[in-house]
Amino acid sequence: MRRSEFLRAVDEEFGARGASLLSDLVLPGIGRTADQALDDGVPPREIWLALCAETDVPASRRYGAGRLEPRR
């Protein structure tokens, strides 16, 4: 997952509250916010999965999120 896909997935899943989740929610297992983790070089996919787990996003919406086109 690229950073752009991560940000697109956050926007699609959380809408207007996405920005505040990225800056305010400390993710267990990562030990910092998503914004801090991105700045520290943590892979976006790892952050995405931690964010999904913490906010109870169903597994069916976790994989492939943020892609413009599905893989073939």
Of 11, 12, 10, the closest CA to residue 54 belongs to 10
Question: Where residue 68 falls among pLDDT bands split at 50, 70, 90?
Answer: confident
Domain assignments of the chain as residue spans, ordered by start? 3-61
Q: pTM here?
A: 0.86
pLDDT digits (tens, 9 = 90+) for 12-39: 999 999 999 999 999 998 999 999 999 9
Checking if the pLDDT of 72 tops 80, the result is no
